[in-house]
Structure 1
Amino acid sequence: MNDQLNFLQTTLHSEIPLTRQMGIRVADYSGSELFVHADLAPNINIHGTAFGGSLYSICAAACWGLLHLKLMEQQVAAQIVLAEGEIKYRRPVREDILVRCSLPDSESYDRFIYRARQDRKAAITLDAEILAGNRQAVVFKGHFSSAG
């Protein structure tokens, strides 16, 4: 894992301590996508599948992490928060959890960075998904904001 991903994982575990208990680990980063992994065991429910609240939290943390990395790269010191999240549980997750979070179109991203850089109110929506058995199991849409 490179220094940037190590820093993000350390930040997640120190700033959002629940992520450590959930076994969340930063797996990979492409510049426009962030992959976050979590073991099933600490996130299991009574049915032997991933707990819905855990899936929501892991998706939210992955999206927050992607925005955090992008703001660092752009040298923008904005504080971001999840303002609203929507999730659809399409099928049970019976294996370790891997979230893929993606940036939106470049116009939305550029507008967010521009406004955040000017210390103005900025908003952006990120999408995340979890696959189970190579099929989409969870779809998450996170609406993030940065208050100027």
Structure 2
Amino acid sequence: MSKIPSNSVPTPSTTQLERELRQQIPLVDAMQLQVVSVADERVVLQAPLLPNINPHGTVFAGSAASVAILAAWSLLHTHLQRLGVDCQLVLQRNHMEYELPINDTFKAEAQYLETADWPRFISMLQRRGRARIAMKSTLTCGAQIVAHFEGEFVALARS
């Protein structure tokens, strides 16, 4: 694999990321997902209750998990994009823990796990064409933390 470029590109805008998500993942439209913010170390997405509602009047767990996964994927994707790295990202494993029912618009804020080793991840991707990294998302509804996501993503270099 060729060296990863040292020159970086700007962080995409919320509009650019939202457009990309809508084009690549049809479920994003159905969920009415919105990109709230995009920064170097975090991405925040949100979704309303009504298109994600279950028979109990709260958010369907699958919708909550999807938003959490998409937030983590988006953070990793935009970070690699800024570095000029062309790769495919896939979720290898994940765990969701729900603390409270979600009964309104909710947000997912993605960050890297404290144990994530970004330099090692990039080095492995350069040398082997694939690498793994741990990510997390915290879901909130209003001011309350309602769920936690942790997952491991694999980056596969494109030739």
- TM-score, length basis structure 2: 0.85
- Is residue 8 from structure 1 mapped to residue 17 from structure 2 by the alignment? yes
2:100 corresponds to which residue? 91
CA shift, 1:15, in A, is 0.8
DSSP 3-state at the match of 2:59: coil
Structure 1 equivalent of residue 67 of structure 2: 58
The structure-2 alpha-carbon separation of the partners of 1:73 and 1:98, relative to structure 1 and needing over 3 Å to count, comes to same
Output one character per residue of 1:68-125: Cα deviation in whole Å (capped at 9) or x when no partner. 1001111111111111110001110111011100023486122222322445220001
User: Percent identity, aligned pairs only?
Assistant: 28
Once the two structures are superposed, the pairs formed by residues 73-88 of structure 1 within 5 Å of their partners are 73-88=82-97
Equivalent of residue 120 in structure 2, options 95, 103, 111: 111
Residue 39 of structure 1: how far off its partner (Å): 1.1
Q: For 1:58 and 1:31, how far apart are their aligned partners in 2?
A: 19
Question: Between Structure 1 and Structure 2, how many residues are aligned?
Answer: 147
Distance 1:117 1:26, change over 3 A: farther
Q: Greater Rg, structure 1 or structure 2?
A: 2
C-alpha displacement at 1:6, in angstroms? 1.8
Query: Which amino acid in the other structure matches residue 84 of structure 1?
Result: R
CA distance in 2, matches of 1:72, 1:61: 16
Structure 2: stretches of 5+ with no match in the other structure: 1-10
Runs of 4+ residues over 6 Å off in structure 1: none
In structure 2, what is the Cα distance between the partners aligned to 1:19 and 1:31? 22
Q: 1:63 touches 1:101 (CA, 8 Å); kept in 2? A: yes
- Paired position in structure 1 for 2:79: 70
Deviations 1:29-65 (A, max 9, x none): 2310100011111001111111101000111111111
Structure-2 residue corresponding to 1:40: 49
Name 2:131's counterpart in structure 1. Answer: 122
User: 5+ unaligned residues in a row in structure 1: which ranges?
Assistant: none
How large is the Cα RMSD of the aligned pairs?
1.8
Q: CA 1:3–1:128 in structure 2 vs 1: closer, same or farther (change >3 Å)?
A: closer
Which of the residues 133, 140, 143 maps onto 2:149? Answer: 140
